[in-house]
Amino acid sequence: MCASERDTRESMIGRVSRVFEAFGPEDDGLGVREIARRSGLATSTVSRIVRELVEHRFLEQAGREVRIGLRFFELGEQAARPHQLRRLAMANMSDLRSATRQTVHLAVLDGTEVVYVIKLRSRSAPPLGSRVGGRMPAHATGVGKALLAHAPAAVVERVIDAGLPRLGPGTITDGKRLREQLAEIRATGIAYENEESGPGVVCVAAPVTPRAGTPIAGLSISTRLGEVDTASLGPAVRTAAIALGRQAARGAAWAGLR
């Protein structure tokens, strides 16, 4: 099926979503033809959508290219759950970073992926490729496994059915092995990642659960292989996640985080 045929069957929202998804984290700007190539949409369709998005400030003109506009970020800041999570978690995450001197993340599960809501990088820790708003396959991250371990079985099966791509030398690509590890995480409350999201990356994570049931987020400490023994960080991240969960349960924001 050619791009123009797909255009006639896809909703306008779907096509606009594909335009935005064409932008990668390293892209300062893209031309209409490149957006069309990446999105699979017809150039004429992309041109029309881009023109309207620029008019409404979701994109902005940068010479012959366009980039993500200010209005897009303004609306992003109004997203309820990430905003409430940031307000609740910042103090606990700062304390955790100070205690461990490592990079601390807070992420939420979205379908088969995790989305990073907060990243507090320690100045003494090595740089990592994660970023706020960035996505990673849930099965390939410590924080993702912490969340999947407490997710409904149907969610786990959806992740497995979608495929378990290898991102690093330690990525779990076998569904049976993933289920076994998730059972261990449920028992201990701590998830470990050993070069699963990428070479040299290690992580320890725990779910943030205000009440019995599905976690609202995952908290993690990430670093580079050989920098620190992640087993020694497990109790710290677990304690911080429990404290954050209790804080969320007590706060009025709980109603908006369920």
Is residue 223 within 8 Å of residue 126, measured between CB atoms? yes
Taking the C-alpha atoms of residue 17 and residue 40, their distance in angstroms, rounded to an integer, is 12
Closest to 109 (Cα-Cα) out of 80, 151, 75: 151
184 vs 26, more confident: 184
Long-range contacts of 233-239 (CB under 8 A, 24+ apart): 233/100, 233/102, 233/204, 234/190, 234/192, 234/204, 234/206, 236/96, 236/99, 236/100, 237/96, 237/190, 237/204, 237/205, 237/206, 238/189, 238/190, 238/206
Q: Note the pLDDT tens digit of each residue in 26-56.
A: 777 899 999 999 999 999 999 999 999 998 8
Rounded to two decimals, the pTM is: 0.66
Residue 237 backbone phi and psi in degrees, to 5: -70, -35
> How far is Cα 43 from Cα 3, in angstroms, rounded to an integer?
9
Helix and strand tally (H, E) in the chain?
11, 8
Pair 206, 146: CB distance under 8 Å: yes
Q: How confident is the model at residue 128 (pLDDT cuts 50, 70, 90)?
A: confident
Vertex 228 angle, CA 224 and 234, to 5°: 105
Q: pLDDT of 72-89, one tens digit each?
A: 665 665 555 555 666 677
